[in-house]
Amino acid sequence: MKTCLTKNTVKYGYINEYGSVFPVQGPSSTDYNYSDYIPVTAGGTLRASNTLRFASFYNSSKVFISSLSNVTTSFVVPAGAKFVRITFAQGFLTNLQLVDGAYLPARKDYTNVLASALSDGTPLRVPGNIILTDSLALDFVQQGLLVPGVNLYNRYTIAAGYIDESGVIHPGGSTYFYSDFIPVTPSAVYTLNLGARFIALYAKNKAFIRSLADSLQNITSVTADADCYFIRVTIQTARSTDLQVERGSSSTAYEDFAYSLISQLPDGTPVNGGASSGSGVVPDFLRGWRGCEKHTCA
């Protein structure tokens, strides 16, 4: 998840609580910047990485609706709003991000993503000479062509260290290893065949939510929160190559982590040589390109 704020369109000044635009220095000689119109969805939750002086909401015609002042936590987009413009201290500009959801992920700069179709339904295609295909790296897992088996814990991508109860990564050492992000289904139960030291839970944008911790290293089950889409497991070094994480309330016979071809496409078309059962979650990519003309915070 990348920030919805593009610094390239930010202007000097501020938009007050009534929607009035002041392209000048703020009260008490405070320097502010304000954003362009950022697309949002009514009812969605947004969060900024720093305090916002104002968050101004607009309808589809970009007519001012309402605003929030001194925003320090996540906030909900009001009914009828299609855009937001944020005002913030100029000193926050370099590192400020505005993201969809109540949790902050690792910071990433704003980028545009090509839409799969125009608003009238006309499909879009990328001309072949725009992309140098000889330097293009394809990830078949991200594209949804490969799915994991029963064991969701990939021992081939673990790293030395641990992720503590606050979500802080402590790299190195010989006591623990921690996993990469393991995709999970919200509210589902997952079982471990060996006890873990920590299990960290993350939102869809990979922002840290909370963690389970046990100094006796006996965590063998976790229920994903309603907004949890990933977990990361910290395991004792001696157990790190034999761990199995699987969906369900009971542990089955150990299987090494491995990928298989998907057994069928979302429309039911079979894939020859595919897995006997699709144990992985089919990415949105295969349900239709999720791209958008500009990142919509919703």
Is residue 75 domain-shared with residue 32, that is, in the same domain? yes
Query: In the structure, what pLDDT confidence band is assigned to residue 295 with cuts at 50, 70 and 90?
Result: very low
Is 127 found in the same domain as 20?
yes
Predicted pLDDT of residue 27: 86
Question: How does residue 127 score in pLDDT terms, banded at 50, 70 and 90?
Answer: low
- Report the alpha-carbon distance of residue 217 to residue 204 in Å, rounded: 27
**pLDDT(280) > 50:** no
**Residue 277, in any domain of the structure:** no
233-243 average pLDDT score: 97
3-state secondary structure of 237: helix
Q: For residue 282, what pLDDT band results from cuts at 50, 70 and 90?
A: very low
Domain ranges, residue 241: 146-259
Q: Is residue 101 domain-shared with residue 190, that is, in the same domain?
A: no
Residues 35 and 94 in one domain: yes
pLDDT band at 287 (very low <50, low <70, confident <90, very high): very low
Q: Is residue 268 part of a domain?
A: no
- Is residue 278 a part of any domain in this protein? no
**CA-wise closest residue to 18 among 88, 104, 75, 87:** 87
Q: What is the mean pLDDT of the chain?
A: 83
243 Cβ partners below 8 Å, 6+ apart?
A: 153, 155, 192, 193, 194, 196, 233, 235
Indicate if 169 and 230 belong to the same structural domain.
yes
Query: Do the domain assignments include residue 151?
Result: yes
Per-residue pLDDT for 182 more than 50? yes
285 found inside a domain: no
User: What confidence tier does 261 reach under pLDDT thresholds 50, 70, 90?
Assistant: confident
Indicate if 55 and 112 belong to the same structural domain: yes
Residue 251, domain member (yes or no): yes
Token output for 229: 């889409």
How many domains does the chain fold into? 2
> What is the chain's Cα-based Rg?
23
Q: Is residue 32 part of a domain?
A: yes
- What is the mean pLDDT of the segment spanning 106-117? 59
168: confidence class by pLDDT, cuts 50, 70, 90: confident
71 and 160: one domain?
no
Residue 137 has pLDDT above 70, yes or no: no
In a domain, 192, yes or no: yes
Q: What is the mean pLDDT of residues 205-212?
A: 90
Which residues are registered as beta bridge partners of 199? 212, 233
Same domain, 2 and 124: yes
Same domain, 206 and 150: yes
Which of 32-46, 84-98, 133-147, 239-253 is least confident? 133-147
